[in-house]
Chain A
Amino acid sequence: MKLKEKLTILADAAKYDASCSSSGSTRKNENGIGNASYSGICHSFASDGRCISLLKILLTNCCIFDCKYCLNRKSNNIKRAIFTPEEICTITMNFYRRNYIEGLFLSSGIIKSPDYTMELIIKTISLLRNKYHFNGYIHAKAIPGSSDYLVKKLGKLVDRMSANIELPTESSLKLLAPDKKETNVTTIMKTIKENRNTKFTPAGSSTQMIIGATNESDLDIMSKSSYMYSNYNLKRVFYSAYIPLNNDKLLPTLKTPPLTREHRLYEADWLLRYYNFKVEDILSIDNPNFNLLIDPKSDYALRHLNEFPKEINTASYYDLLKVPGIGITSAKRIIKSRKYFKITFKDLKNMGIVLKRASYFITCNGKYFINKSLFNKEFIENNLVLETHQINKPSITQLSLFNE
C-alpha cells in the first residue's frame, strides 16, 4: 500500500478524536529538532473550522474491540492499514520542518493485545525522539488495559498522554463499549497524575467524552468532568458531539450532531476551571440541561439577578468574573486600572472590554448604561437571546481548545 493511501485511511480514522491542543509544554530546543510552544500554535484550520496543530493519526485502524460507535470496530468491513514506525517518523519530520505541524498526535486501534499495541506506540515514539531527535510536541494515547510499566515508559517520551473515558457512566460503557472498563482508563490517569513532572508528560493529561450517543443529562456529564478534574488533575476534558457512523439499534439516530450542546458544555467546562463556578451553580436536578438559547454564565446571572448589577469600581475579582462577557483578562485589567482612575463606560470601551453582554449586569460609578428601570429579567433575557443569535458563532469552543 502506498504511503498516501495509508495516510488517508489512518488520518480519517483519527479525525473524530477532539483533542487537538499543543499547549502546556515548555520543551526547549536542546540540540534536537524543534521545540514546544507553551501557548500552542494552530497551523491550519480544517473545513469544519477546527484547529489543526498536530499530525493526528492512528498507528493502525485494526482493532480487536467492537465499540458500537466506532468506525474501526472489528465488525465493520472497512479497509485496514498499519503504519511502520519509520513511516510515521518520516512523515512527522518532514511535516515539522516545513512548519505544517506542531508535532504528532498518535493513537491506535488495539492490535493483538493492549500491551502489544502499547509497545508499537512506544517503539515509534522512541525512534522519533532518539533516532530522529525530534523535540517537538507529542501527544500519545495510552491504550486502556496495558501494563503499568508500559504506561510509565511512554510517559517519559511524550508531552501529553491521555486516555478517553468516552462515555459518562459505567452503564453506558457497558452498553456501547462492552470490551472497555472505566477502571482501565482511570488507572492510566492515576499513573500519570502520580508521576507527572517536567520529564514525564509535562503537558499533563486529557480525556474525551462523546456527547449524545447515550441519554445522560448535561448534569451527569458535568459532574463526571468535575470529578475527573479534581481526582486526576486533568488538563482538559474534551466533548465530542456524537456523529452517527455505524448503524446499530443501540445507537440513537440523529440528523445533525448536537453541536450547540457541545458548545454549551465547553462554556460550562471553562466556568468550572477558571471562574470558580461549581456544577451546582449552573445545573441542578430540577434544571439538568443547559439552556440552548443563552450561554451558561448569562443563564446563571439571570437566575441570580439579585446579585447584580456589579459595580465595576468596587466589585471583587471573583464578582467581576461572574459578569457575562467579562473574562479573566478583562477582570484583571479592570482591577489594575481602577487603582489609577475611576472607570466609566467609555473607559471600558477604550480598555478593549466587550460590553455587548456585560453592560446589562454592571454599573460604573453607580450609573447603569440605560434607564435603570429596565434592569429586569425579561428585558435582559430578550436582549441576550437576540445578541447570541446575531453573533451565532461558536468561537469560544475553538478558543477553549487552546487556552489552557
Chain B
Amino acid sequence: MNKMYIYDGTFLNLLSLITFLIKNNIKPTNIVNSNYEPTLLDEIININIVNNPKIINNIKNIWGLEIYKIMLYVYFSEDSYKELIIYYLYLNCLKYKRNTLNMRNLKCVSKSLKIAKYVSNEAHKLKGFVRFKELESKVLYAEISPTNNCLLILSEHFKKRLSHEYWLIKDVKRNMISIYDKKNYYIIPASNLKLNIELNKNELEFADLWCTFYNTIGIKERYNAKLRLNFMPKKYWRYILEMSDENEKSNK
C-alpha cells in the first residue's frame, strides 16, 4: 500500500508533520492535503499533528532564510509531489545544514530550486501584470489566476508599493482573497467576503487611456507577436486589461 500522510494544507502543519515523520523514522510514499482523493492502492494516515510554531524560526535561524524561502516557494507550487520534495529537502538539511542548497547533485535540492525559481518567476511577472480597478468605494480591486499560488508574495509587494490605498487581490482559481487595510493584509477565503464590485465612474476613462497608450506604443515595423507571447503568455491575458479584448477575439 502507498502510505499517504495527511496534513491540513497549511505550511506550518506540513512542516510540523515532516518533523514528526523524521523523528519517528517514517518514510511516507507521499504527503497530501485533506482534499486528496485516494486511489485503491492508497492507505490514508491522518495523525492530526499539532502545529509547532517554533519550527519556522528554527529553520530561519539554523539553516538560513534562503532555505526557508525555498521551502515556502515549493509549497506555493502546484507540483503534485511538492510536500514530498520538501520532506526530502528537510531531511538533507539535517545532514548538510547551511550547505544544503549547494548540493545540486541531490535530486531534491535541484528539484526544489527549480520549482522555487518557477514560482518566483511567475510572482515577479505578476507584480507587473496585476491590474487594479477602482471601485465605487475607492478601493482598488484586482483579479488573478496564476499557475502557482502567488498571493502572499504579491501582498508583500503591494503592501509596500500601495501602502496608502485600500486594496483587494482575488485569486479566482484558488478562491482566496487578500485584503489590505492600509496597515496589514489578510488572506482569507473569498467566500467569506461580500463584495460589491461596482466600478468608480472615472474607471472607464483611465482604462481607455491606458489601452490607447498600449496600442500606440508598439512599433509596427518591429511587430513580433511571438516575442510578446514569450514574455506575456496567453494564460495571463484574461486578467490583463489591455489584452482582454484580444483574448476574447482569439477565443472565439
Among A50, A243, A398, max chain B CB count under 10 A is at A50
- Given contacts A44-B232, A48-B219, A350-B110, are A337 and B104 in contact (CB under 8 A)? yes
Contact code string B193-224 (vs A, CB < 8 Å = 1, else 0): 00000000010001011101110111111111
CB <8 Å contact, B213 and A7: yes
- Among the 9-residue stretches A95-103, A115-123, A152-160, A169-177, the one with 4 or more Cβ atoms under 8 Å from chain B is A95-103
CB <8 Å contact, B217 and A46: yes
CB <8 Å contact, A97 and B165: yes
A341→B218 CA distance, assembly (Å): 48
Number of A residues near B (Cβ < 8 Å) is 58
Partner of B224, one of A16, A48, A337: A48
- Given contacts A16-B219, A42-B231, A49-B227, are A337 and B213 in contact (CB under 8 A)? no
A16→B220 CA distance, assembly (Å): 11
| Interface of A (DSSP majority class) | loop
CB <8 Å contact, B210 and A48: no
CB <8 Å contact, B161 and A351: no
- Among the 9-residue stretches B44-52, B87-95, B127-135, B176-184, the one with 4 or more Cβ atoms under 8 Å from chain A is B127-135
Among B130, B131, B158, B221, max chain A CB count under 10 A is at B221
Q: With a CB–CB cut-off of 8 A, which chain A residues contact B223? A: 47-48
Ordered by A's residue number, 11 sampled pairs between the chains whose C-beta atoms are within 8 Å are A34-B162, A37-B127, A42-B128, A44-B232, A49-B224, A336-B102, A340-B102, A340-B103, A352-B117, A393-B226, A393-B230
A28→B159 CA distance, assembly (Å): 12
CB <8 Å contact, A49 and B231: yes
A339 contacts partner chain B, Cβ-Cβ < 8 Å: yes
Q: With a CB–CB cut-off of 8 A, which chain B residues contact A351? A: 104, 110
Contact code string A1-40 (vs B, CB < 8 Å = 1, else 0): 0011001100110011000000000001100011101010
Query: Which of chain A's residues has its CB closest to B130's CB?
Result: A99
A178 contacts partner chain B, Cβ-Cβ < 8 Å: no
- Given contacts A97-B132, A395-B230, are A256 and B217 in contact (CB under 8 A)? no
Can you add 17 more A-B contacts, CB < 8 Å, to A44-B243, A98-B134? A4-B209, A7-B216, A12-B216, A34-B161, A45-B227, A46-B219, A49-B230, A56-B217, A95-B210, A97-B132, A98-B210, A256-B221, A337-B102, A337-B105, A350-B105, A352-B117, A395-B227
- Chain A interface residues toward B at CB < 8 A: 3-4, 7-8, 11-12, 15-16, 28-29, 33-35, 37, 39, 41-53, 55-56, 91, 94-95, 97-100, 102, 241, 243, 256-257, 259, 333, 336-337, 339-341, 343, 347, 350-352, 393-395, 398
CB <8 Å contact, A243 and B102: no
CB <8 Å contact, A29 and B161: yes
CB <8 Å contact, A44 and B133: no
- Given contacts A34-B161, A44-B129, A333-B104, are A97 and B140 in contact (CB under 8 A)? yes
Partner of A4, one of B110, B113, B212: B212
Q: With a CB–CB cut-off of 8 A, which chain A residues contact B102? A: 336-337, 339-340
Query: Which of chain B's residues has its CB closest to A4's CB?
Result: B212
B250 CB → nearest A CB, Å: 14
Nearest first, the 10 A-B pairs at minimum CB distance are A49-B227, A47-B218, A46-B218, A48-B222, A49-B224, A43-B128, A350-B110, A11-B216, A41-B128, A45-B232
CB <8 Å contact, A99 and B131: yes
Among A11, A50, A52, A98, max chain B CB count under 10 A is at A98
A243→B220 CA distance, assembly (Å): 10
B85 contacts partner chain A, Cβ-Cβ < 8 Å: no
Contact code string B137-171 (vs A, CB < 8 Å = 1, else 0): 00010100000000000000010111111000000
CB <8 Å contact, B224 and A52: no
Query: Which of chain B's residues has its CB closest to A336's CB?
Result: B102
Query: Which of chain B's residues has its CB closest to A353's CB?
Result: B104
Q: With a CB–CB cut-off of 8 A, which chain B residues contact A339? A: 102
A337→B113 CA distance, assembly (Å): 14
Q: With a CB–CB cut-off of 8 A, which chain B residues contact A98? A: 131-134, 140, 206, 210
- Chain B interface residues toward A at CB < 8 A: 99, 102-105, 107, 110, 113-114, 117, 124-125, 127-134, 140, 142, 158, 160-165, 202, 206, 208-210, 212-214, 216-228, 230-232, 240-243
Q: With a CB–CB cut-off of 8 A, which chain A residues contact B210? A: 95, 98, 100
CB <8 Å contact, A47 and B225: yes
Q: With a CB–CB cut-off of 8 A, which chain B residues contact A398? A: 227, 231
A90 CB → nearest B CB, Å: 9
Q: With a CB–CB cut-off of 8 A, which chain B residues contact A97? A: 132, 134, 140, 162, 165
- Given contacts A45-B228, A45-B232, A99-B131, are A11 and B217 in contact (CB under 8 A)? yes
Q: With a CB–CB cut-off of 8 A, which chain B residues contact A7? A: 209, 212-213, 216
CB <8 Å contact, B128 and A35: no
B106 CB → nearest A CB, Å: 9
Query: Which of chain A's residues has its CB closest to B163's CB?
Result: A29
- Given contacts A29-B161, A98-B134, A99-B142, are A41 and B217 in contact (CB under 8 A)? no
Partner of B216, one of A15, A28, A44, A100: A15
CB <8 Å contact, B129 and A259: no
A119→B206 CA distance, assembly (Å): 28
Q: With a CB–CB cut-off of 8 A, which chain A residues contact B242? A: 44
Q: With a CB–CB cut-off of 8 A, which chain B residues contact A336? A: 102
A364→B140 CA distance, assembly (Å): 54
Q: With a CB–CB cut-off of 8 A, which chain B residues contact A12? A: 216
B130 CB → nearest A CB, Å: 5
CB <8 Å contact, A94 and B216: no
